[in-house]
């Protein structure tokens, strides 16, 4: 193995290929690229591709560039370009050199098209869509040659120029490669290289009337940029033949060290959809609040929800790279963020569904300051002030009139419990409203139990969290669940009807006063409740998004 071969990462088939190509001297260094089409926001599937491409470049001390694959004027938008740049940087990667746009190469693509015509390897075809389909044949049956296949070079050059000048209407003709109408690979049966579009392009405006097809533009862009390994998802496996054919038939690129394409399986996640078309539909039909809705698998949604970049990179490591198509359990993603946040998230207390507690033997008008660790396993993170007084809030679920069973480790009448970071209390009575809901619990505290067990040997097993009422801050909590009710909603034609009606539940409660100026997106562990972060949509209100529960409770 060569010096710059990393050894610490598991070796997958792509790393084997890179090692081979460096060892044989085919390439002196590695170059990859991440080529998003700017027609939507990036999602967690793209993160797999980003981590793979940029990660290999980092590990092999090579380069990875960011290229906007903007060859389709109709669906693309500058807003998407900005969001994609943001998301790649947020994930922790920096592209090599300037950002590239396929549209920068429009003139070159055109010149390569002329080269193919001159070699009698491309022709302008006027078959309409239906005829083209008919001529293409089927998987079982060879196609037949287009009548325009024999047009002379001179005439084809003239026709392509006219296409470019806008002399033909959309759909009237296309430029096709002349390959093999009997190829077992449908994509090799004289595929289209250029089509006519009268749409304005977000980078080149109205300059062009013809736009290159993905297969033509992608391999040439890779070659122009010096990409060595062009990594894409499995559905492009057959297109590799066309990728190779195009580069092998262009003089400038037909060299052993030209780019080669390698395919890996795409990420599919359970209970969500990933295709940009489907995500766009959810956004446009206002079934979610936007591309950054915290329930979406978009990177901006995950980030707003409190996922860290480190946890997403770790998730991608955990799932690995292979050629087997599969569905990934959401639990793997959730475990990755839990494991990260467990280490980094400061602890705090928040009451999500509050009821009042009156400590009857505590003096009125007195507020006591206590200290609690910011992270019980990491003393270096220091301590925070919390408060205690006669009036507190606890969570409704932490009180029962009568303990339902012996395992109940919460507060009940005549049953003691410890308030986290504070005293042991014992409930004596409670009030209810007209509907019988408990509103206030009356309790007494044992002043001799701060930071120690009762001296008379009483055993207090339960610990519940609380916030002191006079200093507590009102907060909104947004609790999220799976967006869909089915494991694979994307398979269904009406996937939008399979939304989980409880994917967002909003509650109002209280947090510690120290949460006043928390930074959006910064994760906290609300003890016993889960990981939360402040919402990142500009607002003075305290709104906390639940990132994930402390343990996997979903079934």
Where do contacts with Mg ion occur on this chain (CB under 5 A)?
37
Is residue 46 at the binding interface for ligand ATP, with CB under 6 A as the rule?
yes
Tell me how far, at minimum, the Cβ of 37 lies from Mg ion, in Å: 5
Q: How far is the CB of 232 from ligand ATP (least distance, A)?
A: 5
**Choice between 56 and 472, CB closer to ligand ATP:** 56
> Is residue 112 within 8 Å of 245, Cβ to Cβ?
no
Q: Does 180 bind ligand ATP (CB under 6 A)?
A: no
Contacts of residue 2, defined as CB under 8 A and 6 or more positions apart, other chains included, come to 19, 22, 23
Q: Could you give the CA distance from residue 234 to residue 518 in angstroms, rounded to a whole number?
A: 43
Q: Which residue is nearest to ligand ATP (CB)?
A: 45
Report DSSP state, residue 383: E
- Is residue 48 a contact residue for ligand ATP (CB under 6 A)? yes
Verify binding: residue 270, ligand ATP, rule CB under 6 A.
Answer: no
Under the binding rule (CB under 6 A), the answer on residue 35 touching ligand ATP is yes
Our answer to whether residue 266 is catalytic in this structure is: yes
Nearest alpha carbon to residue 225 among 65, 25, 18? 65
Residue 279's Cα: distance from chain center in Å?
Answer: 12
Secondary element (H or E) of residue 304? helix 299-305
Looking at 4, 5, 15, 37, which residue binds ligand ATP (CB under 6 A)?
37
Site residues for ligand ATP, 224-243, by CB under 6 A, read 232-233
Residues in the interface with ligand ATP (CB under 6 A) total 14
Residue 191 within binding range of ligand ATP, rule CB under 6 A = no
Select from 42-50, 369-377, 419-427, 436-444 the region that touches ligand ATP (CB under 6 A). 42-50
* Residue placing its CB nearer to ligand ATP in the complex, 71 or 547: 71
| Partner touching 56 among Mg ion, ligand ATP, none, CB below 5 to 8 Å by kind | none
Q: Specify the DSSP class assigned to residue 134.
A: H
Give the nearer residue to Mg ion in terms of CB position, either 46 or 305: 46
Burial of 210 (0-12, 13-18, 19+ CB in 10 A): buried
Q: Quick one: which segment of 143-151, 266-274, 384-392, 415-423 binds ligand ATP (CB under 6 A)?
A: 266-274
Residue 64, SS3 per DSSP: strand
- For residue 350, list its beta bridge partners: 511
Indicate the Cα dihedral angle 438, 440, 445, 449, nearest 10°.
60
| Distances from the Cα of 473 to the Cα of 350, 398, 420, 468, 542, angstroms | 9, 20, 18, 10, 8
Among 162, 266, 420, 528, binds ligand ATP (CB under 6 A): 266
Catalytic option among 67, 276, 304, 546: 276
Residue 45's binding partner among ligand ATP, Mg ion, none (Cβ under 5 to 8 angstroms by kind) is ligand ATP
CB of 109 to Mg ion, least distance (A): 18
Q: Helix, strand, coil shares of the chain as percentages rounded to 5? A: 30, 25, 45
- Contact set for ligand ATP, span 49-88 (CB under 6 A): 49
Q: Which of 85, 266, 356, 409 is catalytic?
A: 266
Is residue 280 near ligand ATP by the rule CB under 6 A? no
Query: Which are the contacts of 241, defined by CB distance < 8 A and separation ≥ 6?
Result: 183, 185, 187, 188
Residue 32 found at the interface with ligand ATP (CB under 6 A):
no
Q: Which does 266 bind (CB under 5 to 8 A by kind): Mg ion, ligand ATP, none?
A: ligand ATP
Examine residue 276 and tell whether it contacts ligand ATP (CB under 6 A).
Answer: yes
Buried b (16+ CB within 10 A) or exposed e, 310-327: bbbbbbbeebebeeeeee
β-strands 260-264, 504-511 pairing: unpaired
The reply to whether 328 sits near ligand ATP by the rule CB under 6 A is: no
478 membership: H or E segment, kind and range: strand 473-480
Shortest Å distance, C-beta 35 to ligand ATP: 5
Contact partner at residue 117 from Mg ion, ligand ATP, none, CB < 5 to 8 Å by partner kind: none
Positions annotated as catalytic residues are 37, 266, 276
List residues near ligand ATP by CB under 6 A: 35-37, 45-46, 48-49, 232-233, 266-267, 274-276
């Amino acid at each position: 193995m060569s010096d710059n071969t990393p050894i610490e990462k598991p070796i997958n088939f792509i790393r084997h290929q890179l090692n081979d190509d460096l060892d044989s001297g085919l390439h002196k260094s590695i170059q990859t690229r991440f080529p998003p089409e700017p027609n939507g926001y990036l999602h967690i599937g793209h993160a797999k591709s980003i981590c793979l491409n940029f990660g290999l470049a980092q590990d092999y001390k090579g380069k990875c560039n960011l290229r906007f694959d903007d060859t389709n004027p109709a669906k693309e938008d500058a807003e998407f370009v900005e969001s994609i740049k943001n998301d790649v940087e947020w994930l922790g990667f920096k592209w090599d050199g300037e950002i590239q746009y396929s549209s920068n190469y429009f003139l070159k693509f055109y010149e390569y098209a002329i080269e193919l015509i001159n070699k009698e390897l491309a022709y302008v075809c006027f078959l309409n869509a239906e005829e083209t389909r008919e001529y293409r044949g089927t998987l079982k049956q060879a196609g037949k040659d287009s009548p325009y296949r024999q047009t002379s070079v001179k005439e084809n050059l003239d026709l392509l120029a006219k296409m470019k000048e806008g002399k033909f209407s959309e759909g009237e003709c296309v430029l096709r490669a002349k390959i093999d109408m009997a190829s077992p690979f449908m994509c090799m049966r004289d595929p289209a290289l250029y089509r006519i579009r009268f749409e304005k392009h977000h980078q080149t405006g109205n300059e062009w009337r013809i736009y290159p097809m993905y297969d033509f533009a992608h391999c040439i862009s890779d070659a122009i940029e010096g990409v060595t390994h062009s990594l894409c998802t499995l559905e492009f496996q057959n297109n590799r033949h066309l990728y190779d054919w195009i580069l092998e038939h262009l003089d400038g690129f037909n060299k052993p060290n030209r780019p080669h394409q390698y395919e890996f399986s795409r990420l599919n996640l359970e209970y969500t959809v990933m295709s940009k078309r489907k995500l766009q539909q959810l956004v446009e039909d206002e079934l979610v609040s936007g591309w950054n809705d915290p329930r979406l698998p978009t990177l901006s949604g995950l980030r707003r929800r409190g996922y860290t970049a480190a946890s997403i990179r770790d998730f991608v490591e955990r799932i690995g790279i292979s050629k087997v198509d599969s569905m990934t359990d959401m639990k793997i993603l959730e475990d990755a963020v839990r494991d990260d946040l467990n280490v980094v998230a400061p602890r705090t207390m928040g009451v999500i569904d509050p009821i009042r507690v009156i400590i009857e033997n505590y003096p009125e008008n007195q507020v006591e300051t206590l200290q609690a660790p910011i992270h019980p396993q990491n003393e270096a993170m220091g301590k925070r002030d919390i408060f205690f007084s006669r009036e507190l809030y606890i969570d409704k679920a932490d009180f029962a009139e009568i303990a339902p069973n012996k395992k109940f480790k919460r507060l009940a009448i005549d049953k003691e419990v410890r308030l986290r970071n504070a005293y042991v209390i014992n409930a004596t009575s409670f009030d209810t409203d007209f509907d019988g809901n408990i509103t206030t619990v009356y309790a007494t505290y044992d002043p001799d139990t701060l930071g120690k067990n009762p001296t008379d040997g009483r055993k207090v097993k339960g610990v519940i969290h609380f916030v002191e009422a006079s200093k507590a801050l009102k907060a909104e909590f947004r609790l999220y669940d799976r967006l869909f009710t089915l494991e694979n909603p994307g398979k269904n034609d009406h996937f939008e009807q399979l939304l989980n009606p409880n994917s967002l539940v909003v509650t109002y409660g209280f947090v510690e006063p120290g949460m006043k100026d928390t930074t959006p997106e910064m994760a906290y562990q609300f003890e016993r409740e889960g990981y939360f972060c402040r919402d990142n949509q500009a607002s003075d209100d305290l709104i906390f998004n639940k990132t994930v529960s402390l343990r996997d409770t979903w079934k």
